[in-house]
Chains A and B, each alone.
Chain A
Amino acid sequence: DSGVTQTPKHLITATGQRVTLRCSPRSGDLSVYWYQQSLDQGLQFLIQYYNGEERAKGNILERFSAQQFPDLHSELNLSSLELGDSALYFCASKALPVSYNSPLHFGNGTRLTVT
């Protein structure tokens, strides 16, 4: 058990809808990362937060947004969903900022299916 909790485990929704994925980092970890794993794109970095502030952005669509709250949990919001958004979404946490050497700990992912 990595200590990173993601909910829900599975989500099935229709095109055009909006969903929220939740992540609770390991106790004490200040950095949260989001990744998307789709069949044709591999594991893609979406966005990173450190102590509530956005630190780095990857290939995140404008329809997607995220935030990290004062209690350090994070939410990834996906709107106007398309079939191609079906993927496994991972959250990971790290004790220190990226510039410091420490491992990334991953949750078990949320599997999103858009029908």
Chain B
Amino acid sequence: DIQMTQSPSSLSASVGDRVTITCRASQGISNYLAWFQQKPGKAPKSLIYAASSLQSGVPSKFSGSGAGTDFTLTISSLQPEDFATYYCQQYNSYPLTFGGGTKVEIK
């Protein structure tokens, strides 16, 4: 199975900050990577697919980059509604696997 490792596991940031989250795959996955946002008690919400393509309706403050084994999710200017847990997921091969999550908290 492909292991997905996110870092950091949590971070504290202020409104307006630029935030970057990293996801590393245990082997190359081309650009078959998605990012999700999850708020407490809610289902995950799709943000990014194919490593850098923005899901319809998702604001452009979210961006993704990377290919192969190393990927990043960037939030350009953190807003109160962005405080949540973010997960990456690879879909290069089965079983599909997720990262452990990055919890973004208010500083």
Query: A and B from one assembly?
Result: no
Residues of B within 8 A of A (CB): none
